[in-house]
Amino acid sequence: MDGVKYTGVPSAEELASCPGIPSEERMRKGRVACVECVQEIPCNPCEGICKFQAITVGEQITSLPCLHEAKCTGCGLCVANCPGLAITILDKSFSETEGTVDFPFEYLPLPQKGEVVDAVNRAGEVVCKGTVMAVTKAASYNGTAVIRLRVPITCVDEVRSMKRLPRTNMKGV
């Protein structure tokens, strides 16, 4: 059976009706949040962390977060602050052929800038190679790193994380 309740992966229908997904047009313009929160759970840190009121949940905190794509600057504060790790920043304006995906990552070791890694989809399947553009660990991220991967533009809709790196040669852990 299809859907997050059965597979852990939101179905195409669930994503299509999710109010947190930006339009193709908006992604073409530049960095924008993609909030893949498809179940009504009591949670609203995304709304509070956004300085631009680009994500709203409202009084009823089980409501699905709603993205107001025109207000979103793609700053990425929400990515590390979503307890469900359900938010990414997508950008299809990077070049004609490539786009970027920023996603939260809580495994060690972290990749290095410039490293080429296996980019995975929502089901953990490798879909393409990605080049690490940035690894951000701001204090306000509270222990969650945010990785920015450059991937073929056709893969931006699919890539949501990267394969964990082997724990050999880990330094300082």
Partner 1 sequence: MKIKEVDIAVVGAGSAGLSAAYQAALAGAKVLVLDENRLPGGQLFKQIHKFFGSRAHQAGTRGYTIGHQLLERVEKSGAEVWLNTLVYGMQKDCSLGVIHDDQHWTIKAKKVIVATGAKENYLAFPGSTLPGVMGAGAAQTMINVNRVLPGQRILMLGSGNVGLIVSYQLMQAGADVVALVEAAPNIGGYGVHAGKIRRAGVPFYISHTIKAVTGDGQVEHVELVQVDKMFKPIPGTEKTFDVDTVCLAVGLNPMTELIWMAGCKFCFIPAFGGHVPLHTEDMETTVPGLYVAGDVTGVEEASSAMEEGNMAGVAAAEALGFLTAEDAEKKKVEIRGRLNILRSGMFGERRRTAKTSQLQSMSDYQAQKGGVQ
Binding positions for partner 1, rule: CB under 8 A: 1, 4-10, 36-45, 48-49, 60-62, 81-86, 106-108, 120-125, 142-144, 160-161, 163-164, 167
Smallest separation (angstroms) from partner 1 to the CB of 79: 12
1: number of Cβ within 10 Å: 6
Query: What burial class does residue 84 get, using C-beta atoms within 10 Å of its C-beta: 0-12 exposed, 13-18 middle, 19+ buried?
Result: middle
Quick one: which of 98, 104, 131, 135 has its CA closest to 117?
131
* C-beta of 115 vs 158, nearer to partner 1: 158
* C-beta of 36 vs 91, nearer to partner 1: 36
What's the CA gap between 8 and 88, in Å, rounded? Answer: 17
* C-beta of 153 vs 165, nearer to partner 1: 165
Smallest separation (angstroms) from partner 1 to the CB of 42: 5
Smallest separation (angstroms) from partner 1 to the CB of 159: 10
* C-beta of 75 vs 85, nearer to partner 1: 85
Smallest separation (angstroms) from partner 1 to the CB of 73: 20
What's the CA gap between 109 and 125, in Å, rounded? Answer: 20
Phi, psi (deg, nearest 5) at residue 77:
-60, -35
What's the CA gap between 53 and 134, in Å, rounded? Answer: 26
